[in-house]
Structure 1
Amino acid sequence: MHQFKESTRNRIIFYFAILFILFIILSLKLVWIQVINSAEYQHQALDQRVREFIVNSERGIIYDNTGRKLAVSLPAKTVVALPDNIIDPKKTAAELADLLELDYQTIYRRLTSDASAIFLQRKINDKLYQQIADLNLKGITFTEENKRYYPEGELASHIIGFTGIDNNGLNGLELSYNNYLQGKSGKIVVERDASGKTIPDGIREAVPGRDGYNVYLTIDEVIQFMAEKELEKAADEFDISGGSVIVMDSENGDILALANTPTYDPNKFSDFTEKSWRNRAISDLFEPGSTFKIITTASALEEGAVTENDVFTDPGYIIVGDQKINCWKLWGHGVETFAEVVKNSCNPGFVEVGLKMGKASFYSYIKAFGFGEKTGIRLPAEAAGIIPAYNKVSDVELATFSFGHGLSVTPIQLVTAVSAVANGGKLMRPRLVKEVETGAGKKNIVNKSQVVRRVISEKTAAKTQQLLKQVVASGTGTKAAIPGYQIGGKTGTAKHYNEDIYDSSFIGIVPADQRKLVVLIVLYDVAGHTYYGSQTAAPLFKDLTKNILGYLNVKPDYKHEFTYQSNLSSQIIPDLKGLSFLDAESKLRAANFNVKIIGNGKIVTDQLPVSGTEAVYDSTVWLFDQAHSVQNILIAVPDFRNKSASTARNLAARKGLQVKTTGQGKVVGQSVYPGKRVPAQTIIRLKLR
């Protein structure tokens, strides 16, 4: 009996010990759950009974400068599958496959996934939504999102760009201003019961979102439409790969139109090639050709290396180093003033000007006008252009720069640089966005016009404009002329290396009441017999500009038609040797000569042309100090043939050369071939008969 009691007692102690151990384990587990790891379990419990709904923000509207909508957001349905509620996934997948244009297996795999909800197709059109809704499929529902819509289709597509399926900007201003346009999504948190229904008095929390900011552009929808229509016309009329048009208000840098062809519809951008999305006006490089002569002209006038009355000679070419650079006119333009060099678009004349400026000076002006660097227009993929490194620029490169070859620029760089000539000398930063509207009670973000730097004086800008007006009035740009309007401009034609295709262009300065517009037309890869800028781009410029002026209600003025006036009266250059530079310059200025000083010395030791030369009013006299020889200046030899001895002698003196004649009558031969560059004061022997 005692043994039985002892055994029972041991079993009780054993079971009690087990229960005690279990109690300790459960207690520790409860401490772990309720104390140590309570936050995690609370979060899991909350997740089971709380549902979070994302409230999409609405993307901001993009307006033109008159308030017309260029990009808006519209409600669109998204097809959502709830796999747990689908009764027959095979049948449902089969019915949706054709409508959604998706593979059956792809849909079936989504319908049978472990997800509680899954997107089948986002932002469908109203017709497709109605077709799916009419099927009344169990487990198929819809949610509403915002879809980007471009009311004008292809209009300004390269400026505006487009968004992806998640409403994030992928191109154009939609990308570069995405942080302003996209807004911030909000959310609503609700508590549900075991059946998934919302508990009326359960937890509710709303985190407000923020709609995107509206953006106001400088673009004028009407002018943009006109620009795109002209490019369409060019594509039909000429054999080209594409083209660009930019219209800029030179006073503030506002872009009123920026168009390219080919174009695309941002509402269905995926239907177009990526090449069509490319904004060639800011991304593509081209040789500006003769349009760059505007920059050469303004730089040379500002530097004082030349005036409109300086004499030039063009036998049809000029020789620089071992290169023969031809003029477009086979027999050349003969003797001409610099004003006529500009009007005639004479390459040898511009080569002389570029070389007279010198490498350091000319290169610095090219950079000052903004070439070789991005303009900062704030559009994706802007190119910086290509300007050869300074240490790789020889006289030949410098010569070709002067007429727009050997360097590559973007259309936006060229129109920005010429706008500095149009507005009195200020290089402006191009502006596409005028203002960002940040909502009620907040201060709007204003994108003020910005002066990058002053590159030339107002006087130089005004003189350059006058020279450009004569180009349109009676020079190579007459096909751009519009009666009643004083337009200045320049054609450009640049041949591709080793290819028989061209880039043709025209850029013009257009007075429009209190402001001056700069309009650029560029046609890329022009093939066929009609390729000169004067034949292709200039007529397009005329038609576009006429429409713009009519739209802006700028009336023609037939009473004050432009006529270029020059003073070609002659006078004798005085002897300046031995004078101080200050006295010599004062004496020349008083006699209405332009002065170019070479050196930093105090006393004039030589001059060009020499004293006693009969020179034209406001022509340039070069003064040298002891450290700089006049013979370091190279002069292009004129074609003296068929000239009298006196005429040849005077021309040589004005150019800075000397002649010795034999015989009588007209010049029939000369010791140095025309167009060759020789040191100043070189004696040229002429044979007369």
Structure 2
Amino acid sequence: MTDERSAITGRLFALFGLLLLVPCAIGFQLFRINFIEGDELRDLWNEQAIDYISIPAQRGNIYDNDGTLLATNSVVYKAAIDPKLKDLTREQITEACQTLAKHTNRNSTYFHQKINNAPSRSRYVVLAQNLSTDAYLELKALDIRALILEESYQRRYNFGTLAAHALGFVNHESKGVIGLEHQFNDHLKGEDGQQQVRRNRSGGIFAYVGAPRKQPEQGHSLHTTIDSHIQAILEEELKAGIDRTKSNYGSAIVMDPRTGAIKAMANFPTFDPNKPASLKNENRRNYAISDMIEPGSTFKLVTAIASVEQDVVSFDEIFETPEDGTKLIHGQMMRDHDPLGTLRLDQVFEQSSNIATAEIAMRLSPNVFYQYARNMGFGTPTNIDLPNEESGRLQKPYEWSQVTLPWMAIGYEVQVTPIQLLQAYAAFANDGYMMRPHIVKKITDGEENIVEERRPVKVREIADEETLNKLQPVFKDVVSDSGTAQWAQVDGLEIAGKTGTAQKFIDGRYRTAYRASFVGFFPADNPKYVALVVLDEPQTSIYGGYTAGVIFKQTAIRIAGLDKEIQRSFEDTEPMQEPLVHIPDVRQMELGEARALLASQKISYTLNGSGQWITGQTPGPGTALKEEGRVTLKVSETPSDSSDTNIPEGYSRIPDLGGMDMRRAAMLVNSRGFEIKFIGSGTIYTQFPRAGDLMKKGRTITVRGKSKSLETLVGR
């Protein structure tokens, strides 16, 4: 019994000893962790709690040809605070909150509550986002260590829809989606920096004061060939033409044929890259490079060049077309737009005879015709520096049927993109040398050092210069009273080009829907610009000369008025003639001002009535007048006649500034309460808004000037 009791007691002591070891072990571990290995373990915890986040780089800018900023970044600021920082005082918190209230729609109590309601362990409390630069600078001037000021960037397109399809836009991650933004995204995006942050047990990230950071590297900038003035002109005229012809949509391009530099590229409908989600996806499509269309008669350039260079036709040859304007070719009926009768070779293209063009093409072998079309860039991409370019479709001769050659000769059974068609005519204008279209001329870094310079690239020679010299007068005659592009004529400016009208091929068959186009270059003898206009389903007429040709004409007039080289060529080539002046609008002017203006243009006048204000004139404004001509001015005691008694308060009538010099125009515009913006110099030949309209005072009238020699060009 005693042995048994001793055994139980021994086991109890052993158990007690074991139980006593547990707190001893725990106490030893606590001592070891806090005093022996504490510093090392704390360092290890800090390492595990530290992480790095990316600091987005500032995206590079995009400039036009003259250095105008088309796309840039607007900085957006965010303010946060570390409320646990030891040296942070209540006065500093109050100062920060009051400053934020000053620059936001919140009161200071709101920001105090955000700080007070933050989790007890929070070291990063966001106070406000999307702060202005003024707010950022004022907060920074407070010099409060606990304030954490961060900046990010949003893409901004300074001119809204201008060149939207060429520029493209970026998504919410600042990644380029279409256009140059996408094509050159790797250049533009730069290299992101890094900032050290802390991560809590839940994985949350918190910035902290004094955290190390690696600054981001700014993206490279693009310097483009786009001329903002020409781009604006092209967009305005394309939109006006689409509205006038009630077309579904349209596309237009202007290029320098000598270098391949794209001066303007427009599509309508368009979109605002600042708000890319606001319109339909199809409005973002760049039809100029992505739309595969059957070109119609504009493709007859291939037939013309191939037949002349291969010597299968002569310029004195006569072609007889059927009296009814139709002909059965290999079992398929071909039609001319009108019965054209007997035609010379030049008239075949001038009047755009399908039947005669097909007859000429059938003298060539399929392989020869195909090779000329291929050499002129059809069936292959132009490799323009924009994304999503289509290559078109040019069937190989072994895929052809009996009717392919005659129908391809007039622009059917082939698909091209507008940029391909423009490139071919640019090669024609450039003595046969085809240049690669391009829109970026150089890339620079953040310090304006050139990273990459892109020089014009010669692709190939499409034909002998002698061949093209023979054909140039033919295509100049297209833009004449007897040609299909008579509506594209500009008095005093020689233009060469070709119209096109093509049925649309939809769901496997041709429909009664058409595309109309015109492509041409000017000045014809020394081309500086080649331009293409394509309209989808115009309702007023299916013919390219009447629809697209008018858009080309208005664009050419306005471009010529801005181009000093073209103006000088007129000074050199215009014959001496009796000078004409065009009567300015002096109605509603003070008599003294009107006298000075008429005297500056050497116009004699007589007065009818008495008073100090001009209320009428004969002949009317804009009338051509020889120097010995005389104007009769109706004067009265009041500045306005009865037609202007209903002008609302704060408004004024826009004066007609045509024919004035810039100084006189500025005086008149300012006297009416408007501002004035000048483009060009010399005599004013066009203005916007138009004369006679009512406009609120304080707004701007834009005028364009030209040398005297261009007065015939613009038809004044």
The one-letter code of the counterpart of 2:519 is I
Aligned to 1:494: 502
The one-letter code of the counterpart of 1:504 is A
Q: Is this contact kept in 2: 1:512–1:549, CA < 8 A? A: no
Decide which of 295, 311, 334 is 1:325's aligned counterpart. Answer: 334
Aligned to 1:136: none
Q: Deviations over 1:264-314 (max 9, x none)?
A: 111111111111111111111222111111222122222333233333221
Matched residue of 1:500: which SS?
Answer: strand
Q: Is this contact kept in 2: 1:123–1:145, CA < 8 A? A: no
Aligned to 1:462: 469
Are residues 1:208 and 2:215 paired?
yes
**Residues 500-509 or 436-445, more deviating:** 436-445
CA offset at residue 368 of structure 1?
Answer: 1.7
Aligned to 2:557: 546
CA offset at residue 122 of structure 1?
Answer: 7.7
Q: Is this contact kept in 2: 1:372–1:385, CA < 8 A? A: yes
**TM-score, structure 2 normalization:** 0.64
Aligned to 2:74: 74
From the superposition, tell whether residues 395 and 199 of structure 1 become closer, same or farther in structure 2 (CA, over 3 Å). Answer: closer
Cα distance between partner residues in 2 of 1:75 and 1:531: 49
Cα distance between partner residues in 1 of 2:464 and 2:227: 30
Aligned to 1:150: 157
CA offset at residue 252 of structure 1?
Answer: 0.9
From the superposition, tell whether residues 208 and 197 of structure 1 become closer, same or farther in structure 2 (CA, over 3 Å). Answer: closer
User: Equivalent residues in 2 for 1:339-350 (5 A)?
Assistant: 339-350=346-357
The one-letter code of the counterpart of 1:469 is K
Q: Deviations over 1:422-456 (max 9, x none)?
A: 11112221101111102449542112211222221
Aligned to 1:504: 516
The one-letter code of the counterpart of 1:322 is G
From the superposition, tell whether residues 355 and 227 of structure 1 become closer, same or farther in structure 2 (CA, over 3 Å). Answer: same
CA offset at residue 462 of structure 1?
Answer: 2.1
Aligned to 2:113: none
The one-letter code of the counterpart of 1:189 is Q
User: Equivalent residues in 2 for 1:84-123 (5 A)?
Assistant: none
Q: Is this contact kept in 2: 1:483–1:558, CA < 8 A? A: no
Aligned to 2:264: 257
The one-letter code of the counterpart of 2:534 is V
From the superposition, tell whether residues 366 and 180 of structure 1 become closer, same or farther in structure 2 (CA, over 3 Å). Answer: same
User: Equivalent residues in 2 for 1:164-313 (5 A)?
Assistant: 164-189=171-196, 205-313=212-320
From the superposition, tell whether residues 297 and 193 of structure 1 become closer, same or farther in structure 2 (CA, over 3 Å). Answer: closer
Cα distance between partner residues in 1 of 2:350 and 2:492: 20
Cα distance between partner residues in 1 of 2:360 and 2:83: 78
CA offset at residue 189 of structure 1?
Answer: 3.2
The one-letter code of the counterpart of 1:550 is G
Query: What are structure 2's unaligned runs of at least 5 residues?
Result: 85-104, 107-116, 137-146, 576-716
Aligned to 1:534: 545
From the superposition, tell whether residues 495 and 83 of structure 1 become closer, same or farther in structure 2 (CA, over 3 Å). Answer: farther
Matched residue of 1:356: which SS?
Answer: coil
Cα distance between partner residues in 1 of 2:54 and 2:336: 69
Aligned to 1:105: none
Are residues 1:379 and 2:368 paired?
no
CA offset at residue 369 of structure 1?
Answer: 1.4
CA offset at residue 192 of structure 1?
Answer: 12
From the superposition, tell whether residues 479 and 443 of structure 1 become closer, same or farther in structure 2 (CA, over 3 Å). Answer: closer
Q: Quick one: percent identity of the two aligned structures?
A: 31
From the superposition, tell whether residues 112 and 452 of structure 1 become closer, same or farther in structure 2 (CA, over 3 Å). Answer: farther
Cα distance between partner residues in 2 of 1:516 and 1:272: 35
Q: Is this contact kept in 1: 2:358–2:409, CA < 8 A? A: yes
Q: Is this contact kept in 1: 2:499–2:544, CA < 8 A? A: yes
User: Equivalent residues in 2 for 1:542-581 (5 A)?
Assistant: 542-553=553-564, 554-555=566-567, 557=570
CA offset at residue 355 of structure 1?
Answer: 0.8
Aligned to 1:437: 444
From the superposition, tell whether residues 266 and 356 of structure 1 become closer, same or farther in structure 2 (CA, over 3 Å). Answer: same
Q: How many residues align?
A: 517
Q: Is this contact kept in 1: 2:148–2:209, CA < 8 A? A: no
Q: Deviations over 1:545-597 (max 9, x none)?
A: 111111112126498699xxxxxxxxxxxxxxxxxxxxxxxxxxxxxxxxxxx
From the superposition, tell whether residues 377 and 44 of structure 1 become closer, same or farther in structure 2 (CA, over 3 Å). Answer: farther
Q: Deviations over 1:439-490 (max 9, x none)?
A: 4495421122112222212222222222211221342222212222221111
Aligned to 1:57: 57
From the superposition, tell whether residues 391 and 59 of structure 1 become closer, same or farther in structure 2 (CA, over 3 Å). Answer: same
CA offset at residue 401 of structure 1?
Answer: 0.9
Q: Is this contact kept in 2: 1:72–1:150, CA < 8 A? A: yes
Report the RMSD for the aligned CA atoms in angstroms. Answer: 4.4
From the superposition, tell whether residues 465 and 493 of structure 1 become closer, same or farther in structure 2 (CA, over 3 Å). Answer: same
The one-letter code of the counterpart of 1:63 is Y
From the superposition, tell whether residues 235 and 83 of structure 1 become closer, same or farther in structure 2 (CA, over 3 Å). Answer: farther
The one-letter code of the counterpart of 2:333 is K
Matched residue of 1:339: which SS?
Answer: helix
Cα distance between partner residues in 2 of 1:351 and 1:377: 32
Q: Is this contact kept in 2: 1:192–1:199, CA < 8 A? A: no
Matched residue of 1:73: which SS?
Answer: strand
Q: Is this contact kept in 2: 1:191–1:199, CA < 8 A? A: no
Aligned to 1:407: 414
From the superposition, tell whether residues 441 and 381 of structure 1 become closer, same or farther in structure 2 (CA, over 3 Å). Answer: closer
Aligned to 2:487: 479
Q: Is this contact kept in 1: 2:318–2:344, CA < 8 A? A: yes
The one-letter code of the counterpart of 1:66 is D
Cα distance between partner residues in 2 of 1:4 and 1:333: 139
Cα distance between partner residues in 1 of 2:296 and 2:574: 29
CA offset at residue 251 of structure 1?
Answer: 0.8
Cα distance between partner residues in 2 of 1:478 and 1:337: 19
From the superposition, tell whether residues 309 and 147 of structure 1 become closer, same or farther in structure 2 (CA, over 3 Å). Answer: same
Query: What are structure 1's unaligned runs of at least 5 residues?
Result: 85-98, 101-110, 130-139, 563-689
From the superposition, tell whether residues 80 and 373 of structure 1 become closer, same or farther in structure 2 (CA, over 3 Å). Answer: farther
From the superposition, tell whether residues 452 and 522 of structure 1 become closer, same or farther in structure 2 (CA, over 3 Å). Answer: same
Cα distance between partner residues in 1 of 2:168 and 2:207: 43
The one-letter code of the counterpart of 1:361 is V
From the superposition, tell whether residues 19 and 170 of structure 1 become closer, same or farther in structure 2 (CA, over 3 Å). Answer: same
From the superposition, tell whether residues 351 and 22 of structure 1 become closer, same or farther in structure 2 (CA, over 3 Å). Answer: farther
CA offset at residue 388 of structure 1?
Answer: 3.0
Decide which of 424, 429, 439 is 1:422's aligned counterpart. Answer: 429
Q: Deviations over 1:382-415 (max 9, x none)?
A: 1221223432212311101111122121111100
From the superposition, tell whether residues 69 and 483 of structure 1 become closer, same or farther in structure 2 (CA, over 3 Å). Answer: same
Cα distance between partner residues in 2 of 1:274 and 1:66: 31
From the superposition, tell whether residues 440 and 327 of structure 1 become closer, same or farther in structure 2 (CA, over 3 Å). Answer: same
**TM-score, structure 1 normalization:** 0.66
Aligned to 2:139: none
